Structure 1
Amino acid sequence: MRAIAVTFFLFCFVFPAALAQLKFGFYSRSCPHAESIVANVVAKHFRRDRSIAADLVRMHFHDCFVKGCDASLLIDPKPGRPSEKNAGPNASVDGYEIIDEAKKQLEAHCPHTVSCADVVTLATRDAVTLAGGLRYAVPTGRRDSLRSNPADVNLPGPTIPVTDAIQAFGAVGLNLFDMVTLVIGGHTIGVIHCSLIQDRIADPAMERTLNAKLRNQCRAPNDPTVFLDQRTSFKVDNGLCLEVLRQRGVLRIDQSLGLDGRTRGIIMSYAKDNALFNRKFAQALVKMGTRRFLSGRAGEIRKNCRVFNNGH
């Protein structure tokens, strides 16, 4: 309880403008059990498969980075009408069934009240907590987008140079510290296909034991996956920072953050203090979720997260 109270204070201090429109406990009267419903669904799936935490963190990032947290990523494509799901970077996003289940239960308890955008945001918080991260307060009150266009998707890739990453995050209102924290935090759990790390496998600077391990794993057919964080693969913690400082970053961007003079100090500070890393990761997630969003009468509250209410 104490940690939550401190985190709540920090978020109110850092994001006053955003919180003028979003609100902690937004559904306390209209749907008082909304957050517990989402948490219970996430916990049920996490007990079966811990990898869902990485799925939800990725979903949250892929949705929020493109025109804000508005559930535009969740729309299914139709013949003649592609959606963000058709964009190449989003092929790796999974976990939609968790959002569907939570939304179905919410509609049964509080019809047409809780947005899909808020479901994704809450589910991500719950997944991060279950995976060992900080339980942080989430401001809610977002509404769902009426647009989902693959042409809008311009996500930074795993080989992006640090300078380009700084520019890409800056373009959506996130600073250098946010970028490092979200990239490393987002990669502290989850996997990557071998086809996307060939540049790192070919890097003579990679620590020899890991390099040999990855070369062996990636010889398997059908483009297998490997863990992004080889130290604590299912836990949200500072393990990846420690790995990066030993030249054991699996992704090019992760390793680059540990080498670049603009970002190495941040990685080193997180490597020394897991509590600091968890606190900053939680703050960065909330900041990303409050930079751009729909509220008030904008957008809609979808009944089905995969389909606009007008059926189109």
Structure 2
Amino acid sequence: MAVLFLALLLLVAQAATTSSSLQLHFYSNSCPRAEIIVRQVVQSHFQRDPSVTSGLLRLFFHDCFIRGCDASVLIDSTDDNIAEKEAPPNLTLRTFDVIDDIKAAVEKECTGVVSCADILALATRDGVALAGGAAYDLPTGRRDGLVSRMGDVIIPSPLFSVEKALAAFKKINLDLVDLTTLLGAHSTGLCHCGFFLERLYNFKNSGLPDPTMNPTLLKTLQNKCPPHLVTIQNITDDIALSMNQVATTPFLLDNSFYRALLNNKVVLQLDQELAYTDMTNKLAVKYLNDPEVFRQQFAKSMIKLGNVGVLMGGEGEIRVDCRRINGAATSSLRAKLGAKN
């Protein structure tokens, strides 16, 4: 009886958060301190490890790119399903612990109210602000997805051309400005050697390094990343280097990526190719000359990314545990009560 009562409370709380669209301060009535709690937990992690921001950014991007921003990337595999996080492009994702800590803290405050999808979106927003980016307002009200399959994961590769990457971005309603701007996140964080090893030794199967890479950077990276390293498909034990080889503050989210880009000093092939198409080159110059323009456009592109394929209203669910879809017993009770979940 007690279990049934608790489950009923959960359903009532979820029904109270149902909405037909994302909105600012969605939880102002149902869980007023939700965004404060998210910010506090992210700040605590950031103070111990400033690379948290880049980890959250990558986690958020990889989530939104597959079926939209529904927190499906957070789900663990089960005996009968291999989840998204097991796909090769996702093996080096991290900061799952940050999301777990936030969810635990929010659940203590408001049981079954705040979605994991919103937690991931808010945590990434707060990480951006802590790393020097703009503190943008973020609409909330996302619901959590019910599907996470390894076979569905197709993420733009760092080996893509700008044209091929843009085609992938267009599929989720992002454009060339968003692509050029969001890659600016590579001003911060770490990158495994396996993601750019081909540029160092066998660029486009030539048997030679990428001729566009700055010679000094090439030598530095070759010293740190020997040619026998594992490939991009199996890099969990690979060496990780600073993504931004020109910055004195490698964990600051700023416009330094574009300085590196225009001087042929970025590590990823896709990043470097931004220098060689007309519009992306012009944007890089613009962002380098006016860091505030970059900060504001980065915020706009992040908000746009956060709107991709979101579940709302009666779609999906509010996961009790971000790593697991809610149990069959709870789903059955929802159906009996007629809750739109």
Identify the range of structure 1 (131-140 vs 230-239) with the bigger mean alpha-carbon deviation: 230-239
| Structure 1 match to 2:16 | none
Match of 1:208 among 204, 209, 215: 215
Identify the range of structure 1 (260-269 vs 84-93) with the bigger mean alpha-carbon deviation: 260-269
| Structure 2 match to 1:305 | 322
Larger Rg: 2
SS at 2:91 equivalent: helix
1:105-124 paired onto structure 2 within 5 Å? 105-124=105-124
Q: Give ranges in structure 2 of 5+ residues lacking alignment.
A: 1-18, 201-208, 230-236, 330-341
| Structure 2 match to 1:155 | 155
Q: Is the 8 A contact 2:74 2:322 kept in 1?
A: yes
Structure-1 separation of matches of 2:22 and 2:194? 40
Are residue 253 (structure 1) and residue 270 (structure 2) matched? Answer: yes
Q: Is the 8 A contact 1:46 1:127 kept in 2?
A: yes
The one-letter code of the counterpart of 1:253 is L
Structure-1 separation of matches of 2:259 and 2:240? 21
Shift of 1:291: 2.8
Give a deviation string over 1:228-271, Cα, whole Å, max 9, x none.
11233211000010001001011000000111224211111111
Match of 2:256 among 230, 239, 252: 239
Match of 2:239 among 217, 221, 224: 224
CA shift in 2, pair 1:213/1:270, >3 Å: same
Shift of 1:189: 1.3
Structure-2 separation of matches of 1:227 and 1:73? 24
Shift of 1:303: 0.4
Percent of aligned positions with the same letter in both sequences? Answer: 41
CA shift in 2, pair 1:162/1:136, >3 Å: same
Match of 1:287 among 278, 299, 304: 304
Are residue 143 (structure 1) and residue 143 (structure 2) matched? Answer: yes
Shift of 1:69: 0.5
| Structure 2 match to 1:40 | 40
Superposition RMSD in Å: 1.6
Structure-1 separation of matches of 2:50 and 2:184? 19
SS at 1:112 equivalent: coil
| Structure 2 match to 1:199 | 198
Q: Is the 8 A contact 2:196 2:267 kept in 1?
A: yes
Aligned length, in residue pairs: 293
Q: Is the 8 A contact 1:230 1:240 kept in 2?
A: no
Q: Give ranges in structure 1 of 5+ residues lacking alignment.
A: 1-18
State TM-score, norm by structure 1.
0.90
| Structure 2 match to 1:178 | 178
The one-letter code of the counterpart of 2:216 is T
Shift of 1:20: 7.0
Q: Is the 8 A contact 1:22 1:141 kept in 2?
A: yes
The one-letter code of the counterpart of 1:38 is V
